[in-house]
Amino acid sequence: MLRWEGVWTYEDLNKFLLEPMLTTPGVYMEVPGVSDETERVDLIAYLRTLSDKPNPLP
């Protein structure tokens, strides 16, 4: 994760939450990812509330 450069987009975050080990080389997580789309959307919406200047939703 430390080598990842850039800004997280909603699409990037959705892909990462679905398959963290496949989308980000060098990441080894014991969590298989969040397979339920509704759960990923809810998690992304929650993370968005933590930003002072959240990006608009797609």
What three-state secondary structure class fits 36?
coil
Supply the pTM of this predicted model.
Answer: 0.76
Kindly report, residue by residue over 4-54, the tens digit of the pLDDT.
Answer: 777 889 998 999 899 887 777 676 667 788 999 999 999 999 999 999 999
* Distance between CA atoms of residues 29 and 17, nearest Å: 11
- Predicted confidence at residue 38, as pLDDT, reads 96
Per-residue confidence band for 57, with pLDDT thresholds at 50, 70 and 90? confident
Kindly report, residue by residue over 3-16, the tens digit of the pLDDT.
Answer: 777 788 999 899 98
| Residues 21 and 27: beta-carbon distance below 8 Å | yes
